[in-house]
Structure 1
Amino acid sequence: MKSTIQFGVDHLMTNFDPLKFGKIGLVTNDAAFTSSGKRSRIALLEAGFEITKLFSPEHGISAKGADGAFMPNGTDLSTDLPIVSLYGEKLAPSTADLDEIDTVLFDVPDIGLRYYTYLWTLSYVLEECSRNQKRLVILDRPNPLSGVIEGPMLDEERCSSFIGRWDIPVRHGCTLGELAKLFNSEKQLKVDLQIIPCLNWQKNMFFSDWNLDFQPTSPAILSWECMLAYPVTAYLEATNLSDGRGSDTPFAQIGAPWLIDINLTRFLEITTAIEVEPCQFIPEEGKFRGELCLGIKLKVTNPSLYHPTLAGLCLIKTIREQYPKYFAWKPYPTRANPAGTRHLDLLLGVFEAEKLFDLPWDAFLSSVLDLTNTNKWQERVKPHLLY
């Protein structure tokens, strides 16, 4: 029988004295559970940890707020603790927020992709803990997409944003604890940083190997199927196609009213471990809300073999070439990028990324293969790896 994964929060409660941490500010949301299925903040309070304040990332404490939507401060109904939103009036905690706190705990499940914003909330928390000389303890969690890596790397000078502030690959293969160690070193933050590791996880393991029930991490990551498809179809946010938001399988199906009889032969020749089938759906939110969308449903047949960034870009190239009168690039407004401009650049971390799609197929494919090469990332991150 497989060993059940133990999260950092489980490790903390089993092996550490709550009094050691003093007054705690906890960065978390409703997606953060113990391995036994109890919400982290409830379990920590019951174990005697003195949490005095909560901080919430994008999607709010519920992890159900709309994508990119402003999240206000509030009070947590389950604990009566004040909630400071880090996706509302500000993206980072203020000095006043941290004044009466001895330790900041961070326990937010991530999904292993650079453009998933919880990582960048952590980056701001790191900087503010450095500035205010606060201890930061990260309750680490496994990377559900394993330790496999795929680029592009981020052009930090021209493509830094809240969906990618610093130069790491799209699929970085790390845990948040490992990335925090890297950032603390490379950005010379000198934070009093402690990582409470998760147990029984190895880099070759995907979520399906954890022996645990799936917990949605945000409104559109509803299942393991959706999470696996997300790094393939996330780039459709920068287009006028539906990425399946508002349907029963966001990101695992895509479409538009005009996406009729698409020929995917070339796409399937290039991609591996992905099956597709025709589908139709009516989104309840987002693009084409209330309209019948025709499209395709994607199924990842072997997570160890698929290359989602390559697949996603080839899928857009395929659609753009076959539907030139209908396909268009489109802004994607969010709290962190109100104008929504250059969204593809920011997702990919590549300046003027749309120009890639003007290239003939062979040149396009060659360029994308070069971009998705992660070059020296493994060497760079190696000193900071924990697993």
Structure 2
Amino acid sequence: MYAKLSLISCLILLASILTTGCSNSTEQSEPAVIVGADRSEIYLPLLENKNVGLVVNQTSMVDSVHLIDYLYRKGVNIKAIYAPEHGYKGTVERGKHVDGTTDPDTGVPVYSLYGKNRKPGPEMLEGVDVVVFDIQDVGVRFFTYISTLNKVMEACAENGIKVIVLDRPNPLGYYVDGPVLDSQFGSFVGLNPIPVIHGLTVGEYAQMANGEGWLKDSIQCDLEVVKVENYTHATKYQLPILPSPNLPDMKSIYLYPSICLFEGANVNEGRGTYKPFQQFGAPYYTPTDFSYVPKSIPVLALHPKFEGDTCYGYDLSGVALSQLQEIRQLEIKYVIDFYNKCDDKENFFISFFDTLAGTDQLRKQIIEGQSEEQIRASWQQDLDKYKQMRKKYLLYDEN
């Protein structure tokens, strides 16, 4: 069962534990954060005599036991497992489609929600009474787990199925920043008008999606959120388990919102190394003080940008974790820097950059030579409106 993780998962888990020290707060004296999955006294009664579907991955742990195993041992009738990007074991490379399988330990069918079926169809939900969503998010719009949640809520609402979200902290939940998504740039890496760093837990996001009518035809989902105990949006929560293969530690998570923009540009974002999002570069960049060579790494990255070429740029892996925790804005200075250093400016950006940014304005502003301050000022009005809306759905204090 899930207590018996694959070798890769075990190594990833061990690396995460060593990096974070399993600390869930900035002060050892503070009460321990208790995630929704650990509050079984609340949700187990809701699952009695129900056929249950689970949206889970490797982060879906109840103490040291995976939620699938935990519920199975408790006699809960698990009808189906739904796998997000990276699969329900978290070992599938980014962007790879996950074919339907069967969980070898329970015999429960596994349906992929990444690929052609990002929204579960009626046949995938047949016989299911309630769907439990328990996945650790990182608080960034283009991290696809909240899009999976959105699609699951929509499908369940259409089929009269209740959704229970076992909430988990947002490791970036202490700030909100970045351009708010323009609806014409909506995609699976950004479905709704929220900023790049949205400042919501998955439970709060679910409430917002319901409350703002973001599900198809404004349908309402029968939703229940099992809250986190001893958490506020000021908590600097350290993830005990990695949320995806290319976020190997908290440093990558803190840098991810800003450096991931390079996935839409002619810059290697650290994929093809063991420090993704902490180091980034391109062959044309100067100065040449720091260099690395991206290579194919199973699970992490196959055929990354500039594979086999020497890339020059930044290495932020040596920056102290405490310094990275103080970042409270989307850092666009790196994209501006690389654009200015690139000789082939016409081919610097690809269309995916606008998809990630949620707007074409950021790309146009960089091309026009606007300063970082001018660019930030341009998205402030929409950001202020979002922050006001966000207050309606907060389940946790902000300080």
Residue 136 of structure 1: how far off its partner (Å): 0.6
After the TM superposition, which of the residue ranges 107-116 and 300-309 deviates more from structure 2? 300-309
The equivalent residue for 2:37 is 9
| Pairing 1:132-143 to 2, within 5 Å after superposition | 132-143=159-170
Match of 1:205 among 209, 218, 235: 235
Q: Displacement, 1:219?
A: 1.7
Query: In the superposition, relative to structure 1, how do residues 182 and 325 fare at CA in structure 2: closer, same or farther (>3 Å)?
Result: closer
Q: Which residue of 1 aligns with 2:5?
A: none
Secondary structure of the structure 1 residue equivalent to 2:392 = helix
Find the residue that maps to 2:196 and give its secondary structure.
Answer: coil
Contact 1:257 1:294 in 2 (8 A): yes
The match for 1:319 among 338, 346, 350 is 338
**Superposed CA RMSD:** 2.1
Q: How much identity, in percent, do the aligned residues show?
A: 28
- Asked if 1:253 is matched to 2:279, the reply is yes
Per-residue CA shift, 1:129-167, capped at 9, x if unaligned? 1111111101111101123111211101x1110011111
Q: Is the CA contact (8 Å cut-off) linking 1:115 and 1:347 kept in structure 2? A: yes
Structure 2 CA distance for partners of 1:296 and 1:49, relative to 1, 3 Å: same
Partner of 1:22: 50
User: 1:249-283 CA distances to partner (integer Å, 9 max, x unpaired)?
Assistant: 10110012332316xxxxxxxxxxxxxx8353433
Distance 1:372 1:114, change over 3 A: farther
1:91–1:365: structure 2 CA closer, same or farther, 3 Å change rule? same
Structure 1's 279 and 40: CA in aligned 2 closer, same or farther, altered over 3 A? Answer: farther
Secondary structure of the equivalent of 1:24?
strand
Q: Which SS does the other structure have where 1:227 is aligned?
A: helix
Counterpart in the other structure of 1:147: 174
Structure 1 residue 18: deviation in Å? 5.8
Pairwise CA distance, 1:85? 0.4
3-state SS of 1:170 partner: strand
- Which stretch of the first structure deviates more once superposed, 318-327 or 96-105? 318-327
Match in the other structure for 1:272: none
CA displacement at 1:2 relative to structure 2: 3.0
CA contact (8 A) 2:134 2:165 kept: yes
Cα distance, 1:350 vs. partner?
Answer: 1.0
Query: Deviation string for 1:274-308 (max 9, x for gaps)?
Result: xxx83534333311223332221123643453144
Residue 314 of structure 2 corresponds to residue 305 of structure 1 = no
The answer on 1:104 being equivalent to 2:122 is: no
Letter aligned with residue 394 of structure 2: L
User: Counterparts of 1:1-387 in structure 2 under 5 Å?
Assistant: 1-13=29-41, 16-17=44-45, 19-20=47-48, 22-34=50-62, 36-156=63-183, 158-187=184-213, 188-208=218-238, 214-261=240-287, 278-284=290-296, 285=302, 286-298=304-316, 299=319, 301-309=322-330, 311=331, 313-325=332-344, 328-329=347-348, 331=350, 342-362=351-371, 365-371=373-379, 374-387=383-396
Q: 1:42 to 1:296 in 2, by over 3 A?
A: same
- SS of equivalent to 2:246: coil
Quickly say closer, same or farther: Cα 1:256–1:64, change in 2 above 3 A.
Answer: same
- Change in Cα spacing, 1:13 to 1:83, as seen in structure 2 (3 Å) is farther
Could you say what secondary structure the match of 1:350 adopts? Answer: coil
SS at match of 1:164: coil
CA offset digits 1:12-34 (Å, max 9, x no partner): 35664265360100011122222
Is 1:112–1:175's contact at 8 Å kept on the other side of the alignment?
yes
1:42 offset after TM fit, Å? 1.5
Per the normalisation by structure 1, the TM-score is 0.85
* Residues 369, 324 of structure 1: alpha-carbon distance in 2 compared, 3 angstrom cutoff: farther
Displacement of 1:192: 1.2
Q: Structure 1's 63 and 155: CA in aligned 2 closer, same or farther, altered over 3 A? A: same
For residues 166 and 326 of structure 1, do their structure 2 counterparts lie closer, same or farther at Cα, with a shift above 3 Å needed? closer
Question: Is there any run of 5+ residues in structure 2 with no aligned partner, and where?
Answer: 1-28, 297-301
What TM-score comes out, normalization by structure 2 length? 0.83
**8 A contact 1:21–1:102 mirrored in 2:** no
- Structure 1 gaps, min length 5: 263-276, 332-341
